[in-house]
Amino acid sequence: MLSIIRAVSPLLASTVFLLMGVALLHSQVALHGHALGYSVAMIGVLTSAYYTGFLAGTYAVPRLTHRIGHIRSFAFCIVLVTFSALVQAITSTYVVWLLMRVLQGLVLVGLYAIIESWLNATADRRYRSSVFAVYMMLNLGAAAVAQQFLRLPGEPFVLFCVVAMLFCLAGLPVIATREPQPSMEALPKVQLRRLYRLAPTALVTSVISGLALGALWGLLPIYAQARGMEPGEIGTYVAAAIVGGVVMQWPLGRFSDRVDRRLAIALISGCAALVALANVMLPADNRVLAIVMVFAFGGVAFALYPMAVAHLIDYVDRDELLSASSTVLLVNGIGSAVGPLVAGALMSWWQPWSLFAWFAVLNALLAVYALNRFARRKREVTDDDNFAPLVQTALNALRQKAVDKHLP
């Protein structure tokens, strides 16, 4: 196992720098956009634009990679995402920012796919799940650490430059690697109607998770700022939510392997609704309690998407696995694009606490739906372990988890 980790260490190093840049960019776009006078609704549109580009990139970037190869595609995408961050540093024109967010989503999904394809090709099947577990933890860990850059003094331009430097560093290990380029697979077909009939709870959980987490990534820094937090405190606050996801994904996932997964989704989403409601009622001046509560919310909220994936894998046949993984990613991406629009509008029309009210309503609806599905149709709990820690970058990771589970 250690020899495999050493072999993929350049790819993991790229992951760390890339995710640090992405997470810092998300927060900086929200905070600097607010300082420029953009409304919360406008910032929600910027986040939605990012996820719209993310969805488009899942179809556009593989074609580019087929034409020029993985290494050139990776370098091409690194140049574009660095360019887009620096453009945002030198202009305050909203339309330009909107275009740059679409571009960022489009090329970043390509970067994630290239890294994950390489991990698939390099890691032995016996250790592939463990390698991807390390990869997922690095994803969230890097995102949490990146928030501390918000403490840096200076003009907003400085943080955009830090983002650009992190992206440049992310390019070096992959561009310099001696590992052979992995082969490209054809994009699987999306079968939304059939998969909804097979496992409706999986698709509903995926879309609701997207609606919530898309808004969290884009608007949580604005919520923290509205509570009177300074930039350094905002970084710690956002990091606490991400660390909660790191800490709780695995134990909650193991719990979902031991009971009916729909019941696990109902219980965990119910807890997420209660924690979100508690965040709505928090006193504004209690910083420690606010960090504890957002840690708790991140812990339960980040676990729902991988549970949806595991639940879907429970039901589909081997020849449908790639199609199923593509469908659940598409549904989650649509939710991630819509969530910031609605949550941003709510925060603009009412109060900043509307963000956690949005989270509470979404998770309460999911809890009721999953519990109803559990009550209507029972299934036997098996010893299958289909849960794996996942985040939205996990395109090939999700597919490989599914394939590994059903290989002889």
Given a cut of 60, is residue 381 above it in pLDDT?
no
Residue 327 lies in a domain: yes
- Helix and strand numbers (H, E) in the chain are 15, 0
Q: Where are the beta strands (DSSP E) in 22-123?
A: none
Given a cut of 80, is residue 313 above it in pLDDT?
no
Task: Quote the percentage of the chain above a pLDDT of 70.
Answer: 81
Q: Sorting pLDDT into bands at 50, 70 and 90, what band is 408?
A: very low
Most confident residue range from 43-57, 92-106, 116-130: 92-106
Residue 128 has a pLDDT of 58
Supply the range of the domain harboring residue 142: 8-178+191-406
Residue 406 has a pLDDT of 46
Average pLDDT for 202-226: 91
Given a cut of 90, is residue 69 above it in pLDDT?
no
Q: Render 109-128 in DSSP notation, one character per residue.
A: HHHHHHHHHHHHHHS-GGGH
Residue 184 lies in a domain: no
Dist CA 251 CA 82 (whole Å): 37
Residue 367 has a pLDDT of 96
Given a cut of 70, is residue 124 above it in pLDDT?
no
Given a cut of 50, is residue 407 above it in pLDDT?
no
Dist CA 345 CA 357 (whole Å): 13
Residue 79 lies in a domain: yes
Given a cut of 90, is residue 250 above it in pLDDT?
no
Entry pTM: 0.81
Residue 224 lies in a domain: yes
pLDDT tens track for 337-353:
999 999 999 998 888 88
Residue 126 has a pLDDT of 60
Q: Sorting pLDDT into bands at 50, 70 and 90, what band is 365?
A: very high
Q: Which stretches of 177-199 are DSSP H helices? A: 192-198
Based on the structure, what is the number of domains in the chain?
Answer: 1
Residue 388 lies in a domain: yes
Provide the CATH number for the domain around residue 115.
1.20.1250.20
Given a cut of 80, is residue 192 above it in pLDDT?
no
pLDDT tens track for 8-42:
777 888 889 999 999 999 999 999 998 899 998 99
Q: Sorting pLDDT into bands at 50, 70 and 90, what band is 204?
A: very high
Q: Which of 40-44, 47-51, 326-330 has the lowest mean pLDDT?
A: 326-330
Residue 132 has a pLDDT of 63
Residue 63 has a pLDDT of 77
CA distances from 360 to 244, 255, 279, 392 (A): 17, 22, 9, 21
pLDDT tens track for 135-181:
777 888 888 899 889 888 877 789 999 999 999 999 998 888 776 66
Residue 40 lies in a domain: yes
Q: Which of 98-102, 132-136, 302-306 has the lowest mean pLDDT?
A: 132-136
Dist CA 272 CA 363 (whole Å): 6
Residue that the structure tokens 């430059």 belong to: 161
Average pLDDT for 373-389: 62
Mean pLDDT score across all residues of the chain: 82
